[in-house]
């Protein structure tokens, strides 16, 4: 039972956070951490566990965001009605682009996903139905509670927390199922896994589709919170990069890695912008970038890997159980 102790304590702290830090900005910061944690956790399924570094995940993020905003703009429906459509579109796109691109390995796969993301951005920029270059907006004044347009960040916080728990639950279930074992084998050596009869292509594709569907939910939640999406904010390559950095920084291939990464990077980004942004010298990115470089240089396995290692040194017997997921190499 000890293995559930620390996650339970952490969960209790996360639930209590907005009740302790009550200013609107602190609550919003908490909500943003959870939102980015959802996206980074979704990326983690294919990028961390399967070792397929996708830099085009923003396509799925955009699918979710655009589906929600389109449901409102064109049909006057609550944005959340668009969520299933966004998931369906993402999974379908993942299937279509996954079949040819997942055969590529290493950098070639990453490059192919970038190309797909940029293509999607250009297509949407020229599609009138999706608001072209201007973008689509959501309900500015909530009509009903189903519009999920709140003044306070508190409802968003608990909504995002619920979705994050579901995402992590699915991830946990996956890693402990047959697919999870296949993925780990493929990540270590795809050739060896294939030679032992692991259906590598099929398993990678399933992971990709699952990851795509969950990423699209993150995109939908993003658009509902901010009430707007345009090609740059919904399909800009930087969003993919953010998911990747958060997962890698926290610990790619670890269940709670993306959450730890988001909990470090989101406040870092917001606070450095609050303090330095108004000065107008772009200092924010210098500081933000420097910290990422330092962590990458001294702890390439991610913060969580470091914590796990220190923990293992401290209490050797508890270590493997406490981390809840196998080590990244």
Partner 1 sequence: MRLKHIAGLLSAAAMSVALAGGASAQQAVKIGVVFPLSGNAASAGVHGKAAIETAVEIINTGSGGLGNLPLTSNAGLKGLGGAKIEVVFADNQGSPAVGQNQALRLITEEKVVALAGAYQSGITLTASAIAEKYGIPFVNGESVAANLTERGFKWFFRVTPVASDFAKIYLEFLKDMKAGGIKTDNVAIVHENTEYGTSVASVITSVFKENGLSIALDIPYAANTTDVQSQVLQLKDKKPDVVIMVSYTSDAILYAKTMQALDYKPPMIIADNSGFSDPSFIKTAGKLTQGLFNRSSFAIGAKGTPTFLINEMYKKKSGGDDLDDTAARQMQGFFVLAEAIDRAGSTDPAKIQAALKATDLKPDQLIMGYKGVKFDDKGQNVLAAGLVIQLQDGENYVPVWPKQLAKTAPALPYKGW
- Binding residues (CB under 8 A) for partner 1: these are 23-25, 28, 32, 125-126, 132-135, 137, 140-141, 151, 222, 226-228, 230, 232-233, 270, 273-274, 277-282, 284-285
d(CA 103, CA 32): 35
Q: Between residues 36 and 208, which has the closer beta carbon with respect to partner 1? A: 36
Report the residue number, 32 or 46, with the smaller CB distance to partner 1.
32
Least separation, in Å, of the C-beta of 283 and partner 1?
9
DSSP for 229-292, please give it: E-HHHHH-HHHHHHHHHHHHHH-TTSTTHHHHHHHHHHHHHHHHHHHHGGG-SSHHHHHHHHHH
Q: Which is nearer to partner 1, 111 or 283 (CB)?
A: 283
Minimum CB separation of residue 16 from partner 1 in Å reads: 21
Instruction: Tell me the closest approach of the beta carbon of residue 204 to partner 1, in angstroms.
Output: 31
Written as six digits, the tokens of 94 are 């993942």
CB closer to partner 1, 201 vs 273: 273
Q: 3-class SS at 3?
A: helix
In whole angstroms, how close is the CB of 57 to partner 1 at the nearest point? 17
Give min distance, CB of 88 to partner 1, in A.
25
Backbone torsion region of residue 76, taken as left when φ is above 0, otherwise alpha when ψ lies between -120 and 50, otherwise beta = left
Are the CB atoms for 183 and 199 separated by under 8 Å? no
- The count of other CB atoms within 10 Å of the CB of residue 140 is 9
Nearer to partner 1, 190 or 232 (CB): 232
Instruction: List residues bridging with 229 in a β-sheet.
Output: 136
Place of tokens 């830090």: 21
Q: Closest approach of Cβ 300 to partner 1, in Å?
A: 27
Please give the full DSSP string across 201-223, using - where no structure is assigned: HHHHHHHHHHHHHHHHHHHHHHH
Residue 124 C-beta: closest distance to partner 1, Å = 12
CA distance 229 to 265: 22
Q: How far apart, in whole angstroms, are the C-alpha atoms of residue 248 and residue 257?
A: 8
Query: Residues near 104 by Cβ (< 8 Å), separated by ≥ 6?
Result: 112
- Indicate the residue among 278 and 329 with the shorter CB distance to partner 1: 278
Nearest CB to partner 1, comparing residues 32 and 53: 32
Cα gap 138→229, rounded to integer Å: 8
Q: How many CB atoms lie within 10 A of CB 268?
A: 16
């Amino acid at each position: 039972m000890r293995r559930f102790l620390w996650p339970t304590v952490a969960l209790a702290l996360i639930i209590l956070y907005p009740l302790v830090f009550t200013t609107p900005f602190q609550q919003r910061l908490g909500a943003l951490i959870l939102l980015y944690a959802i996206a980074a956790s979704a990326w983690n399924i294919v990028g961390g566990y399967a070792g397929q570094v996708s830099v085009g995940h923003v396509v799925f993020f955009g699918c979710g965001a655009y589906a929600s905003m389109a449901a409102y703009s064109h049909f006057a429906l609550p944005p959340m009605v668009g969520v299933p459509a966004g998931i369906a579109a993402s999974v379908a796109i993942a299937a279509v682009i996954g079949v040819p691109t997942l055969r590529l390995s290493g950098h070639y796969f990453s490059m192919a996903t970038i190309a797909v993301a940029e293509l999607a951005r250009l297509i949407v920029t020229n599609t009138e139905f999706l608001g072209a270059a201007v973008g689509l907006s959501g309900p500015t004044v909530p009509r009903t509670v189903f519009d999920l347009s709140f003044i306070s960040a508190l409802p968003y916080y608990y909504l995002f927390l619920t979705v994050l728990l579901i995402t992590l639950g699915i991830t946990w279930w996956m890693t402990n199922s047959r697919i999870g074992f296949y993925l780990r084998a493929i990540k270590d050596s795809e050739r060896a896994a294939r030679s032992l009869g692991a259906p590598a292509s099929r398993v990678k594709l399933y992971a990709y589709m699952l990851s795509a569907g969950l990423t699209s939910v993150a995109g939908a939640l993003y658009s509902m919170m901010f009430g707007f999406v345009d090609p740059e904010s919904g399909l800009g390559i930087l969003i993919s990069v953010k998911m990747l950095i958060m997962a890698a920084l926290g610990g790619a291939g670890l269940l709670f890695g993306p959450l730890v990464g988001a909990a470090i990077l989101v406040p870092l980004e917001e606070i450095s912008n609050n303090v330095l942004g108004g000065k107008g010298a772009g200092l924010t990115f210098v500081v933000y970038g420097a910290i990422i470089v330092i962590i990458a240089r001294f702890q390439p396995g991610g913060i969580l890997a470091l914590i796990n290692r220190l923990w293992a040194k401290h209490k050797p017997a508890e270590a493997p159980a406490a981390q809840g997921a196998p080590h990244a190499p």
